[in-house]
Chain A
Amino acid sequence: MPSDETELLRLENLSARIGRQVLLNDVSLRVSRGECLAVVGGSGAGKSTLLRCLMGLTRPAKPFEGRLCFNGQNIDFAGSGRIKRPHGIGYVPQNPNHGFDPLKRLDWQWRQAARVVTGRAGISETQARLLEELGLKPFERHFPHEWSRGMQQRLLLAMALMGEPHLLVLDEPTSALDPLIAAQVLRAVMRHAEKLGVAVLIVTHDLSLAARYANRAVIMNAGRAVESGETATLLKDPQSDYGRLLVKHRDWMALEGAHTSRSIAAE
């Protein structure tokens, strides 16, 4: 397959399974440099599994087919050996409870992350500037719970940006946070991503959120990528059944009484 300069990530025919159960079936996607791509799907569609595979994690679901090309690194999922982890992906988990150890001080957690990413513990000048731009105060001797959830989430974002990633992955940025914090964090993410030219991959169940931020979207259902394309065209003219359902139920304002009994089978 030809690859051009702007392409950052190319995933071809990824399949993954837990035991005998196949969770991902022949999923392909592309991300260009600096773009924002959304992966949209309901619960159980395989969105999180896809994310974990992209980051080179093989448990609980193990990829058994497909290839990943990320920023010049080639990873073959079909081989029997250990799967390499691609470098240059920053990950912001769903909520701070997943991201921090509640019993360790923030300072310690930051230094651990810094040691892994840059090889040096401590806060460098660029990192200090990043923290300041995100509106974070010095750690002192604080534990995670002593900060508000919004600040914790922004600190996680800072940790993800620390290694100057090429791709930033947001896992369900709205579902576990209240809207005020979620919006605040998303604004910070988008501002920094644009400034640093980082591509963003948003995983979400909410098409209206995806439509707000992403240029392109991939719709997943039951382990398959059923549809992909420009968000605007997707919204206007969805091709797949699941896509049509998503578009129909995009807005709260489109809530209607009369015709939904047919679509309940899809739950």
Chain B
Amino acid sequence: MLLVDNLEMAIGGKPILDDVSFAVEQGQTLCIAGESGSGKSSLLKAINGLMPARFDRLCFRPQTHREITHEGQWHGKPGLRGSRWVMQDPIAALNPKLTLGRSIGESIYSKKPNAADLASATATALADVELPPAMAERKPSEVSLGQAQRACLARALIARPTLIFFDEPLSALDAIVQKQIAATMKRIQERYRITFVIVTHDLGFAAAFADQMLVLRNGKVEAYQPAQSFFEAQASRYCVDLVDAARDLGSLPQAAEGARNQAEVSL
């Protein structure tokens, strides 16, 4: 559904991304992992035409919108129609002067809904992210970080996207809230069959969520394989180090075997 073929990007002669190719199927999750500065966020921006990049082919085929295909480089306005973003820092992403309800509703202003439709769409979106309806009246400064991140998710959902890009959606939150929001994300994905592309540091989260893993290192693809096989056996030294680091930090269980099976069962 989203296909990127041989993407390259350089800034001032310095290569940032080199020969990155991947494809995501409808309703699946791709997790992009890698250390800081490996080009994860740049990749998301390049796909959306927010940074100049060269590629052989970029193809986005949402069910709800016209298919988009670019060859060579991005043409026209940036942004893939039918997709949405959720950012890392929810407080920075929300307009501090608008109530959450307004912020969420703004996302579909371009469709010129009437007041009743707008209100009901907002209410549905809030219910989807498990926020009480009263939250629509609050401003970002009056809610917790976790609630603000749920509002960001609602703002993405209200437009009925077929693909959502997440840029480190949970790293600003504390451990309990992280897991609660991850559970909400999972439910939303199952309900609406939305494709997720998630940039994350946290391999524990990726292990529970991803269908495909893409590991970047210095702008090159270090590993691109199904998540299950990635967590069972890593192809390169670097990936072994990454998984070991996650085990050391307790985000992946110590025992290599059985971990993934357990995840299968509980999801």
Q: Do B175 and A183 touch across chains, with their CB atoms under 8 A apart?
A: no
> How far is it, in angstroms, between the C-alpha of A187 and the C-alpha of B251 when the chains are bound?
15
Contact of A253 among B145, B174, B244, B253 (CB under 8 A): B253
| Nearest A residue (CB) for B177 | A267
* Count of chain A residues near B, Cβ 8 A: 39
> How far is it, in angstroms, between the C-alpha of A183 and the C-alpha of B249 when the chains are bound?
6
Give every chain A residue within 8 A of B173 (Cβ-Cβ). 43
A163 close to chain B: CB less than 8 A: no
> How far is it, in angstroms, between the C-alpha of A240 and the C-alpha of B244 when the chains are bound?
32
Give every chain A residue within 8 A of B175 (Cβ-Cβ). 42, 205-208, 246, 249-250
Contact of B176 among A182, A212, A245 (CB under 8 A): A245
Q: Do A256 and B205 touch across chains, with their CB atoms under 8 A apart?
A: no
Q: Do A251 and B253 touch across chains, with their CB atoms under 8 A apart?
A: yes
A153 close to chain B: CB less than 8 A: no
The stretch of A54-62, A111-119, A258-266 that contacts the partner chain:
A258-266
B180 close to chain A: CB less than 8 A: yes
> How far is it, in angstroms, between the C-alpha of A178 and the C-alpha of B200 when the chains are bound?
10
Q: Do A261 and B130 touch across chains, with their CB atoms under 8 A apart?
A: yes
A136 close to chain B: CB less than 8 A: no
Q: Do B176 and A266 touch across chains, with their CB atoms under 8 A apart?
A: yes
Q: Do A263 and B244 touch across chains, with their CB atoms under 8 A apart?
A: no
Q: Do B245 and A179 touch across chains, with their CB atoms under 8 A apart?
A: yes
Q: Do A182 and B266 touch across chains, with their CB atoms under 8 A apart?
A: no
B207 to chain A, nearest CB (A): 6
- Given A42-B174, A246-B175, A252-B208: A183 and B180 interface contact (C-beta under 8 Å): no
Residue picked from B180, B182, B242, B262, most chain A C-beta under 10 Å: B180
B267 close to chain A: CB less than 8 A: yes
Question: Which A residues fall within an 8 A CB radius of B?
Answer: 42-43, 149, 174-175, 178-184, 186-187, 205-212, 245-246, 249-257, 260-261, 263-264, 266-267
Question: Which B residues fall within an 8 A CB radius of A?
Answer: 35-36, 130, 144-147, 171, 173-180, 182-184, 186-187, 190, 201-205, 207-209, 241-242, 244-246, 248-253, 259, 262-263, 266-267
Q: Top 6 A-B pairs ranked by shortest CB distance?
A: A208-B250, A183-B245, A205-B174, A252-B204, A212-B250, A249-B179
